[in-house]
Amino acid sequence: MGIVLGIESSCDETAAALVTTDRRILAQRIASQDEAHAPYGGVVPEIAARAHAERLAPLIDEVMQEAGLEFADLDAIAATAGPGLIGGVMVGLVSAKALAMAADKPLIAINHLEGHALSPRLADADLDFPYALLLVSGGHCQILHVEGVGQYRRLATTIDDALGEAFDKSAKILGLGYPGGPAVERLALEGDPQAVPLPRPLLGSKEPHFSFAGLKSAVMRAKDSDQHVDADIAASFQQAAIDCVLDRLKAALDAKTPLPALVVAGGVAANQAIRGALEGFAAERSMRFVAPPMALCTDNAAMIGWAGCERLKTGQSDPLDFRARPRWPL
């Protein structure tokens, strides 16, 4: 059994967690910066980097104390090394390097997307490779064939906005504030998903890629028309997004030999309507459906610690001069 300290600081959550190779989360802390960014309607990189620098060290102390561990007890230190806002990524990665050097422990540089991609295996011991992964967050929107640790084949990506970004932008148009996903989901519960005719970009296209910019513009036109109540716009937007996701998944998976499981991860995976639709999609194809618990969907350090555990088990670590990568495709 090994213990890994995970550190996440690539966007607007500062987080630290202690995770074991046998799937236990010994302690975890997340400091959200939502309040700091809310007045601007989105994440301000400079504010984010400063907040990470202030919050990270105390969070690490807290998880170590809660678990009753010393740095000498750790087997590795894993930190997000990209992709993300470079100032924040550097705060986390440099902290991890300093700890790794001081405690003489291996450093494991984690791709944030790999953290999301492997997170379902932390919660579900029965989820084996390979699986199809729908990775939907504020910055990313991809369908991946996950073949093993470090082995990811991208089947589809977005040609403009990510799905979470479409939720956030629609929320802004509807005056719902930031982050928008949960607010749109709540408002959609009160609306009629058929009330507002909205486009389904790329529906039926053979290429499995996503596009959400046109949907967002249509939401703006619907709002400006003053002909619809906001709840109907929210519900119709969410339904259009679901229709697009299922159609794009169909295009990606029909072109391949069947995979045993469909897995969803990333912040948008917290959306119950999307989870429900994916569950139905998977059932129709006799695929197992796996969605991590809500707390593992949005950004957190347990998923980074777990990705570190997965890499540790395969004997991998990284040099202390590993550079932070603002862009880093899986």
Among 247, 299, 310, 318, binds Zn ion (CB under 5 A): 299
Window 131-150: residues binding Zn ion (CB under 5 A): 137
Q: DSSP code of 40? A: G
Q: How far is the CB of 178 from ligand KG4 (least distance, A)?
A: 8
Q: How far is the CB of 18 from Zn ion (least distance, A)?
A: 20
Q: CA of 317: how far to CAs of 30, 45, 110, 180, in Å?
A: 25, 29, 10, 37
Angle of CA points 84, 293, 233, to nearest 5°: 75
Partner from Zn ion, ligand KG4, none contacting 185, C-beta within 5 to 8 A by type: ligand KG4
Partner from Zn ion, ligand KG4, none contacting 114, C-beta within 5 to 8 A by type: none
- Can you tell me the distance from the alpha carbon of 285 to that of 212, in angstroms, rounded to the nearest whole number? 26
Calculate the CA 12 to chain-centre distance. 12
Q: How far is the CB of 258 from ligand KG4 (least distance, A)?
A: 28
Q: How far is the CB of 172 from ligand KG4 (least distance, A)?
A: 11
- Are 116 and 141 contacting, i.e. CB atoms less than 8 angstroms apart? no
Positions in the binding site for ligand KG4 (CB under 6 A): 11, 137-139, 164, 167-168, 179-182, 185, 266-268, 270-271, 298-299
Q: Is 52 labeled as ligand-binding? A: no
Q: Is 187 labeled as ligand-binding? A: no
Q: How far is the CB of 83 from ligand KG4 (least distance, A)?
A: 9
Q: Is 73 labeled as ligand-binding? A: no
- Interhelix angle for 213-224 vs 230-254, to 10°? 160
What residues form DSSP beta bridges with 7?
Answer: 16, 79
Of 31, 72, 74, 24, which Cα lies nearest the Cα of 51?
Answer: 31
- Are 77 and 93 contacting, i.e. CB atoms less than 8 angstroms apart? no
Give the nearer residue to Zn ion in terms of CB position, either 114 or 299. Answer: 299
Give the nearer residue to ligand KG4 in terms of CB position, either 3 or 93. Answer: 93
Partner from ligand KG4, Zn ion, none contacting 164, C-beta within 5 to 8 A by type: ligand KG4
Q: CA of 178: how far to CAs of 91, 181, 184, in Å?
A: 24, 8, 10
Give the nearer residue to ligand KG4 in terms of CB position, either 153 or 186. Answer: 186
Q: Is 112 labeled as ligand-binding? A: yes
- Are 183 and 270 contacting, i.e. CB atoms less than 8 angstroms apart? no
Give the nearer residue to Zn ion in terms of CB position, either 78 or 218. Answer: 78
Known binding-site residues for substrate equal: 135-139, 168, 181, 185, 271
Known binding-site residues equal: 112, 116, 135-139, 168, 181, 185, 271, 299
